[in-house]
Amino acid sequence: MNSKELHPNKNLKNICYINNIIKNPNILIGDYTYYNCEKEDVENFEKDCVLYHYKEFGDKLIIGKFCSIGENVKFMMNAANHNLSSITTYPFTAIMGSETKINEKHLSELPNKGDTIIGNDVWIGMNSLIMPGVHIGDGAVIGANSVVAKDVKPYTIVAGNPIKEIRKRFSEDEIKILLEVKWWDWKIDKIIENLEIILGNDISKLKEL
């Protein structure tokens, strides 16, 4: 496996390692995280999937290593927010631009929920919407067509609109081991050498490595 390859499998042009196509410095993608788009316009991830991400807001989209992102997943960033405490929610300053002198003050008053952070080894099903400032823990699974407006704990399966917890993937003790081992931080040679264990379900063996 070579994280610098655009397409990890040259026969599958609809899958790409995202960190090789990102240009925005406020989008940080870990090695081996891939986007799967059956329309084969997979290289448009930044334009198609990261919405309302303007430098004036300074928020970051941070995605860990070895994540699987399905087709048409959307990451809604903070610039999509409107001010619910003002008389109107209409974004006059954005629409009018330089015609108004209160743009800077207005921008500072808009809701900003901070960076959106996705952990390692997270699977996000197709057509899901990730709202601003959400934190998704390592090993979590987001069911297809979900709207994620709140944090998701590690190794938890969630789905729906709004999301509801379906179940934990492992016991609390096993999750503790996985979060301590952090196999995604191993060198790739060690990962490949131990794939039989990583692809299995005996977490006690992983702890011994």
Residue 99 in tokens:
């015609």
Pairwise CA distance, residues 126 & 37, whole Å: 9
CA 59 vs CA 36, 80, 182: distances in Å: 25, 12, 26
| Whole-angstrom distance, CA of residue 38 vs CA of residue 3 | 21
Token match 């996985």: residue?
A: 178
Nearest to 45 by CA among 7, 81, 75: 75
The H or E element containing residue 94 is helix 92-96
To the query of whether residue 82 is one of the catalytic residues in this protein, the response is yes
Given 7, 53, 82, 106, the catalytic residue? 82
Catalytic residues: 82
